[in-house]
Structure 1
């Protein structure tokens, strides 16, 4: 499982070094292969181990290519999707178009989200966390059933 926020660097060639604690898991789970694409709700990238990405592709394939909203989602998610794999040093290359989309600078955050990573520019991540903490959960609106039943 992928969890935790990790401050890492993006090198001049556009590579990130995956923290050691994830490398063995990624090797065992997907032979170090992954797919990176954009997040359509936040200014970050999503990095899926290949086995998880195949599940996403199945869901995207089931959408209608004649429905404009569904087609837009397919176009964005699949259009930006880039396959890659960890090199022998545990580094992952992030495509230039993806780096530009997420406005990634040298300092980035790799954030585990159970079945995927989010990759954020460090400043944007810090601002997002600040906003999330300040905003808290919305009041005066109906919570989803998942949030109503959620407890720690």
Structure 2
């Protein structure tokens, strides 16, 4: 399993092509050949890019849901809405489909931000605004999310 590190400002060309930063290329070197899946984020106006190996893991979890339960079926439909596979070209670029560019309001200036096993693709302005507009104090959020976890369980 890959554990991505880094946030990078990039440029997207008029056709929606993005050059993967060298640091990501290095971190994803063993996974590039399999390709990636790009999808709408559930919580934010950005895109999520999954290495194919990670996507298969997520799909295995979704496949355990009972499709005869309406909420499960609705969730699967919404979660996979707009999903596309993408591959790197010989120059190390990947193409973001137009409909997904529109969903995330991507313009020329974008940000690629690591999300542990995936990376997010943001419009630069939207990314900066989300960071600035955080309603919850990050210290409070960190305590709520991580405060009850035994540190020994993390290793």
Determine whether 1:128 maps to 2:123.
no
Deviation at 1:64, TM superposition (A): 2.3
Partners of 1:60 and 1:103 lie apart in 2 by 28
Deviations 1:93-127 (A, max 9, x none): 11111111111111111001120001111111001
Distance in 1, matches of 2:115 and 2:71, equals 26
Q: C-alpha separation between the residues in 2 aligned to 1:66 and 1:100?
A: 33
In 2, the alpha carbon distance for the partners of 1:150 and 1:41 equals 27
Contact 1:35 1:49 in 2 (8 A): yes
**Which blocks of at least 5 consecutive residues in structure 1 are unaligned?**
none
| Number of residue-to-residue matches in the alignment | 148
Residue of structure 1 in register with 2:116 after alignment: 114
Note closer, same or farther for the CA distance 1:147–1:93 as it changes in structure 2 (3 Å cut).
farther
Task: Summarize the Cα distance change of 1:27–1:66 in structure 2 as closer, same or farther, 3 Å threshold.
Answer: same
Q: Distance in 2 between matches of 1:150 and 1:42?
A: 29
**Cα RMSD, aligned residues only:** 2.2
Deviation at 1:8, TM superposition (A): 0.4
Runs of 4 or more consecutive aligned structure 1 residues displaced over 4 Å after TM superposition: none
Instruction: Give distance in 2, aligned partners of 1:107 and 1:32.
Output: 27
Instruction: Note the 1:46-125 alignment, pairs <5 A.
Output: 46-125=48-127
TM-score between the two structures when normalised by the length of structure 1: 0.86
SS at match of 2:85: strand
Q: How does 1:2-41 map to 2 (within 5 A)?
A: 2-31=4-33, 33-41=35-43
Q: Does 1:143 align with 2:144?
A: yes
Q: Provide the TM-score with structure 2 as the length reference.
A: 0.84
Give unmatched runs, 5+ long, in structure 2: none
